[in-house]
Amino acid sequence: MRTDEQALVDRLPTLAQEEDKYKVREMLENVRPEDLADAIQRSELEIGLGVLRKLDAETAAYVLVELPDETSRALVAEMPDTTVAHYLDILPMDDALGLRDSLSPERFEALLHVIPDQDAQEIRRLLSYPEDSAGQFMTEDFVMVSPLDTMADVLDLIRNTNDEEFETVNYIYVLSEDRHLLGLLTLKRVIRAQPNSLARDVMVEDIITVPATMPEEEVARTLARYGFSAVPVLDERGRMLGIVTADDAQQILEEAQTEDVLMLGGVTGDAENYMSLSLFELVKRRLPWLVVLFIAEFFTGSVLRYYLGRDADADPSASLAVIAKLQLFVPLLIGAGGNAGSQVTTTITRALALGDVRSRDWFRVIRREFSVAALIGVTLGLIGMARVSLPVVGWSQPLYLSLTVGFALPCIIIWAASVGSILPMAAKRLGIDPAVMSAPFISTFVDATGLIIYFEVARRVMAGYGIQF
């Protein structure tokens, strides 16, 4: 039965202060680790730490596994070694590697001597691969057979092996004596084949594999592209090291997509549970981009000063009327340009992340976005002209202002679309995450440059009417 979340959250402060640890264990005996972890992440860190310290090492470890990384790592640093050793032992290997960032190298190494030797050796092997590579988040727990094993042998192996020994039995890998991957058996093929059939006669030899050094996002997209539930990982000599499963790939893609969405909004940092982040973490994630954008906005002010301020300072009576009229349409124009640029940036960044678009497709993308922006710009330009000139909408401005808005809008939107598509693709080509070209950054850049376009258009239109500013 599921625990009442709010009731459990309300009870935690009392349990954290309870001196009798056995009483706390008894009160939480029927609470599932998932529910307790959810309540802890909704409480203060000290309260969660107080409760976990009163639980037995194994139970506390299972609760820690269910917590977001940011919270679990903060708690682990304060937990006793017995609990951390249990936690390290039951963690998936890729998560176990991340734990070392929360502990001193000496303590992490000491814990490796406490957990089972086989697990410790596997962790050390995984640490030898590049960070965020296939080698670091693969599992070595896969089903392997020889080419001379029969289908009856394969089924006996699966039937008589402990459930925790294999990550998945959907795929059975046929290896040579020196661990070279020869072929693949699906469980369906094994069941449907004759019991005395040999693995070499039933296996599929055309197999998609990934090298151990391949970046994790690329591995995850390979799995998603082909719809596999696992993909084998090979070393540089073609020997099989392990497998990457679809659930790990899905988590990697979800984290990557979340990070991209955050970055597009001008928020830095990893994809962590919102409730697990401290006030300091939230500030640290948001402040850098806001400072950059705040400084960038100085450029917008400089543009306004250049076009609107200098003549007013020299001859206020001659220019203020024109300046006042031009200023009426600044929010309309830079808002349209910023929104158009943000739309394109978001679309292109997503397409790059999903592999729909590659950096070599830049010309096709620019051509498409130019055409789209031209159609949108002309449409908005006509609407803008009507909004400025028609008396029925309450403005009824002079024709030169209507023409200025009508010409400036398409120019600004085409420029915004060009910037919004070029910058993410250029970042991808340079090996930079395209998401760093966040929508707020593009919008701020287009604001300033769009003003230059607006006032240059205004100068040329008004010059035809004998008006200078």
For residue 316, pLDDT over 50 is answered with: no
Q: Does domain 142-255 have CATH number 3.20.20.70?
A: no
Q: Which two tokens stand for residue 12?
A: 């935690």
Residues 91 and 192: their CA atoms lie apart, in Å, by: 35
Is residue 202's pLDDT more than 50?
Answer: yes
- Given a cut of 80, whether residue 189 has pLDDT beyond it is yes
Four-residue CA torsion sign, 374, 380, 383, 384: negative
**pTM value?**
0.55
The DSSP bridge pattern shows strands 142-145 and 210-211 to be unpaired
What is the residue whose two structure tokens read 């050796």? Answer: 121
Enter the CATH code of domain 5-128. Answer: 1.25.60.10
- In this predicted structure, which of 216-220, 255-259, 307-311, 380-384 has the lowest mean pLDDT? 307-311
User: What does the pLDDT look like over 266-311, one tens digit per residue?
Assistant: 545 554 554 545 556 655 555 565 456 556 555 655 666 666 555 5
Please give the class, per CATH, of domain 279-463: mainly alpha
pLDDT band at 232 (very low <50, low <70, confident <90, very high): very high
Residue 128 has pLDDT above 60, yes or no: yes
* DSSP output for 93-124: HHHHHHHTTTS-HHHHHHHHTTS-HHHHHHHH
Q: What is the pLDDT of residue 288?
A: 61
> Looking at residue 312, what is its pLDDT?
47
DSSP summary character for residue 239: B
Helix then strand then coil, in percent of the chain rounded to 5, is 70, 10, 25
Looking at every residue in the chain, the average pLDDT score rounds to 80
> Residue 287: what pLDDT?
55
* Domain spans, the chain: 5-128, 142-255, 279-463
CB 340 within 8 A of CB 416: yes
CA distance linking residue 321 with residue 327, whole number of Å: 10
Residue 67: band (very low, low, confident or very high) from pLDDT cuts 50, 70, 90: confident
- Percent of the chain whose predicted confidence (pLDDT) is above 70: 79
Helix (H), strand (E) at residue 27? helix 21-27
With beta carbons less than 8 A apart as the criterion, state whether 92 and 72 touch: no
Percent with pLDDT over 90 in the chain? 17
387-430: pLDDT as tens digits: 777 765 545 677 888 888 889 989 998 998 888 888 888 877 87
User: Residues 48-74: what's their mean pLDDT?
Assistant: 85
Q: Where is pLDDT greater, at 269 or 364?
A: 364
How many angstroms separate the first and last alpha carbons of the chain?
Answer: 75
The pLDDT of residue 419 is 86
Least confident interval from 272-281, 317-326, 372-381, 438-447: 272-281
* Rounded Cα distance, 251 and 254, in Å: 5
